[in-house]
Structure 1
Amino acid sequence: MPRFAANLSMLYPELAFLDRFEAAARDGFEGVEYLFPYDWEPAELAARLEAHGLQQVLFNAPPGGGGRREAIAQAWAAGDKGLACVPGREAEFREGLALALRYAQALACPRVHVMAGLVPAGDTREGVRATYVANLRRAARQAAQAGVALLVEPINTRDIPGFFLNRQDHAHELIGEIGEPNVQVQMDLYHCQIVEGDVAMKIRQYLPTGRVGHFQIAGVPQRHEPDLGELHHPYLFGVIDEVATQCGWQGWVGCEYRPARGAVAGGTTAGLGWLRAARAASPASS
């Protein structure tokens, strides 16, 4: 069975953010991820991880705002979705990355997702491609010195219209051009199904390349629990297990979904029947 990490930006919404660590551990999660850590001091987050025996497996670099906490929150609220592809904001991108790497080291987090950003109005994907490649290449070399992998994620055009990166083949093509070994793909099966489909075959195609650093899951189309919607996740977990065994992959699967029960007390836990079933079906549990 894959190792599952709770996404604390989405799960346990009835709780204050810092209380979600305990809830995730109580439900048997051993890893956590979330969008951004920058509203809290690294020491405070590290203490929650240690207190509950959790591993930080992923978070995002700032979407904008450089290295200043208030500016990061303002950039996200204003609609920034990353700066990697945005010409003219390279210095802001570098400041944000430096802050992300400081947090990664403090939290012993081996992966940081660098959001590609929106193609600026009046420009094209090909027009900003060189900016994206140059930013990621420079960032990867800096991250390598800190022992951190940078992840890039194709995101569907329905949730984020205008996002630079939408397809698995595009992501892998860009990684080849960037040419740095610590740049990998964050393969979100929810986004992949919406844009491309044929999800199982894409797992089989790309996981053995060594260029997939992380998976994420959610039900399609409503982004609820993975047992709700058109994807059959038990089958996909089996595919991941099979291919991972063959190629030696040992990553995590992030549970980045919105609980169907919303923010009612205990709603996230009540919706984890899919996870309990996966654990019961795992050979390790027998």
Structure 2
Amino acid sequence: MPRLAANLSMLYAEHDFLDRFGAAARDGFQGVEYLFPYDHPAPQIAQRLADHRLTQVLFNAPPGDWAAGERGLACQPGREAQFQDGLALALHYAQVLRCERIHVMAGVVPAGLAQQEARACYVRNLRWAASQAARQGVRLMIEPINGRDMPGYFLQLQHEAHALVQEIGAPNVQVQLDLYHCQIMEGDLTMKIRQYLPTGRVGHMQIAGVPERHEPDHGELNADYLLGVIDEISVACGFDGWVGCEYRPRQSGAGGTTQGLAWARRWRMRLS
């Protein structure tokens, strides 16, 4: 059964970050994810998780200088030391937060760098990172991200991500299948889910409406149907991951997130 996790970087924006944990719990979420935790001490976040009986599902390793447009370092030769330092910090947070998954962003391919050179650097970095993460039982996620939202991003397509997982050859490196990005780049979501979920290479999923990245009950995605497909395949193949709700609520301001969760409440009623 796919479990829903609130993405606290996008949901409950009317609250300060640390207050979003309680808001998510009050709306029935049992798991949370977000982009980056590093502005807050890990024990402080761990206390919020404990207070509200929440599972930390996923967060991202440091991406470099996010404000300057960096979106990860894994594919960038010459940045290996910074990549390694960032992973060490992420693993520290994962240990304190008891988080089993870290998303390692690939990065934008530097101008003038051949794609094959970027790929070789990426594979080297992920193999090293996988060996470090395995020591504490952490799985690393790699995520194809659409080129409209993130131009020049190294990894954009599902088949590329799955080929990389096979090439890297580490059992704790998996694909983060974001249905929002996949719909924009490839479409045919039902068949993508049926193709890739049974392989065991998918470790986490995310959902948002297309094209505006609001709730997944409007636009091109039908959350009721897609969650049913995920449920069907999960029962057959034993998928144990979560579905992260990584979207921006249509209604901003106080209560906007809660008012937009009718689709999630319907899904929970099906599970009860």
TM tier, smaller: over 0.9
Partners of 2:2 and 2:134 lie apart in 1 by 26
**Aligned-residue offset at 1:228:** 1.4
1:268 and 2:261 matched:
no
Secondary structure of 1:56's counterpart equals strand
**Aligned-residue offset at 1:126:** 1.9
Equivalence for 2:43: 43
Partners of 1:246 and 1:11 lie apart in 2 by 31
Task: Report matched runs for 1:1-286 at 5 Å.
Answer: 1-64=1-64, 75-262=65-252, 264-280=253-269, 282=270, 284-285=271-272
Letter in 2 for 1:134: R
For normalisation by structure 2, the TM-score amounts to 0.99
Equivalence for 1:71: none
Letter in 2 for 1:265: A
Partners of 1:102 and 1:2 lie apart in 2 by 27
Deviations 1:227-271 (A, max 9, x none): 011111211111100000001111100000000002x11110000
User: What is the aligned length?
Assistant: 272
Secondary structure of 1:220's counterpart equals coil
More displaced 10-residue stretch of structure 1: 224-233 or 91-100: 224-233
Letter in 1 for 2:50: E
For normalisation by structure 1, the TM-score amounts to 0.94
Deviations 1:108-148 (A, max 9, x none): 00000000000001123222110000000010010000110
Letter in 1 for 2:42: P
Letter in 2 for 1:217: I
Runs ≥4 residues deviating over 4 A: none
Partners of 2:220 and 2:128 lie apart in 1 by 39
Equivalence for 1:68: none
Deviations 1:89-111 (A, max 9, x none): 00000000000000000000000
Letter in 2 for 1:212: V
| Aligned-CA RMSD value | 0.7
Letter in 2 for 1:90: E
Letter in 2 for 1:274: W
Partners of 2:240 and 2:118 lie apart in 1 by 33
